């Protein structure tokens, strides 16, 4: 049991013994994974890390800012193709460029959010995703035509280390952002637009910021995914990608950083478990959303939070 003496302790990163222990375990596991000598698991670990960055972005938008967007496939594609076209630049610049191009598209797509809410916004953003796909499928100059686009692919191990390190950076930045004025503004807009405005939060700026940050993350996700695959074709970015992301944030836990990582692991690893029954995965995805909404609306992160609270206060309750 931790005794908190002043509120300043609450401002520290990862307060609480159990939280710190879990965090240390996660870091140790990520470092140990490549030494287990299982290439298949290094591939899966890499894919979880890449996906988790995008899921985190999606969660910032949907879970924290409350803006339902189905445009993720579009941002993913923009990030991936921007990265492919920027390959002449140093790697980090190309990655940042991909994120920024996607963020710019995010701001543009975010404009309807100033007028539309809930399902209406979802439809508008879904339209953007489909338009991006159509554009890529029909403009060879962008997508490399039928041949697709080749992307330079580093060795598996170096992919693993960079992507896991990047996930660490993004997770840290997200944790910091959401506990700052900016994160509070996002949540305030989610919980009550009129009250947020009356407290001086600028709705336009906050919503567009949410879209920009979210699609920056998704753009980076796309870029890393392109690098992971080594090859791009428009088919990769169809609407089913949107479903996957939604399953990830719901099952992992809305408005939670660790939940985004759990959710990414869930959607990446589930098809592995299903193996030969791969056709059943979407069915199971749908069922898992229902199960989460009924039994644990906080998702995996919510379940963990409850367990942690119990442990931290033990033996008191």
Partner 1 sequence: MSLSFGGIRALRGVSLAVREGETLAVIGPNGSGKTSLFNCISGAYQPGAGDISFDGASLLRLSPDRVARRGIARTFQNLRLFLGMPVMENLLVGRHLHFRRNLLSAALRLRREEIRHRDRCEEIIEFLDLEPYRKLRAGDCPYGVQKRVELGRALALEPRLLLLDEPASGLTGEEKEEVAYWLHEVRGRFGVTLVFVEHDLRFASRLAARMIALDRGEKIAEGTPEEVQRRPEVERAYLGDAA
Residues near partner 1 (CB under 8 A): 7-8, 11, 13, 173, 176-177, 179-185, 187-188, 190-192, 194-203, 255
Closest separation between CB of residue 233 and partner 1, Å?
A: 34
Residue with smaller CB distance to partner 1, 201 or 311 = 201
Closest separation between CB of residue 175 and partner 1, Å?
A: 8
DSSP codes of every residue in 261-309: HHHHHHHHHHHHHHGGGGGGHHHHHHHHHHHHHHH-TTHHHHHHHHHHH
Are 267 and 248 a contacting pair, CB within 8 Å? Answer: yes
Residue with smaller CB distance to partner 1, 100 or 187 = 187
Closest separation between CB of residue 226 and partner 1, Å?
A: 25
Residue with smaller CB distance to partner 1, 10 or 235 = 10
Question: Is 74 exposed, middle or buried (CB count within 10 Å of its CB: 0-12, 13-18, 19+)?
Answer: buried
Residue with smaller CB distance to partner 1, 46 or 215 = 215
Closest separation between CB of residue 204 and partner 1, Å?
A: 9
Structure tokens at 317: 């309750």
Torsion angle (degrees, nearest 10) of CA 64, 66, 67, 69: 70
Residue with smaller CB distance to partner 1, 143 or 206 = 206
Q: Quick one: which of 169, 48, 159, 153 has its CA closest to 99?
A: 169
Instruction: Count each helix (H run) and each strand (E run) in the chain, helices first.
Output: 14, 2
């Amino acid at each position: 049991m931790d005794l908190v003496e002043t509120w300043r302790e609450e401002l520290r990163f990862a307060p609480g013994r159990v939280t710190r222990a879990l965090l240390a375990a996660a870091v140790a596991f990520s470092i140990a994974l490549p030494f287990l000598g299982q290439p298949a698991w290094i591939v899966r670990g890499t894919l979880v890390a890449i996906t988790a960055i995008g899921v985190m972005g999606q969660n910032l938008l949907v879970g924290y800012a409350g803006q339902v967007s189905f445009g993720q496939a579009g941002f993913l594609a923009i990030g991936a193709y921007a990265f492919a076209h920027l390959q002449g630049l140093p790697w980090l610049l190309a990655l940042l460029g991909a994120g920024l191009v996607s963020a710019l598209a995010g701001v543009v797509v975010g404009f309807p959010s100033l007028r539309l809410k809930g399902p209406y916004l979802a439809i508008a953003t879904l339209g953007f995703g489909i338009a991006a796909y159509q554009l890529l499928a029909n403009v060879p100059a962008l997508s490399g035509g039928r041949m697709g686009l080749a992307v330079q692919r580093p060795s598996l191990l170096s992919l693993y280390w960079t992507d896991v390190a990047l996930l660490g950076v993004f997770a840290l930045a997200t944790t910091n952002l959401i506990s700052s004025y900016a994160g509070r503004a996002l949540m305030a807009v989610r919980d009550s637009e009129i009250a947020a405005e009356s407290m001086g939060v600028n709705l336009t700026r906050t919503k567009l910021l949410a879209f920009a940050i979210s699609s920056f993350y998704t753009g980076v996700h796309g870029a890393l995914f392109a690098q992971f695959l080594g090859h791009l074709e428009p088919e990769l970015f169809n609407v089913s990608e949107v479903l996957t992301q939604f399953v990830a944030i719901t099952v992992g836990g809305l408005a939670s950083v660790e939940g985004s990582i759990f959710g990414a692991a869930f959607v990446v690893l589930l098809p592995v478990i299903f193996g030969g029954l791969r056709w059943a995965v979407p069915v199971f995805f749908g069922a898992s959303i229902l199960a989460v909404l009924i039994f644990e609306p906080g998702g995996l992160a919510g379940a963990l939070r409850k367990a942690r609270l119990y442990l931290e206060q033990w033996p008191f309750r």
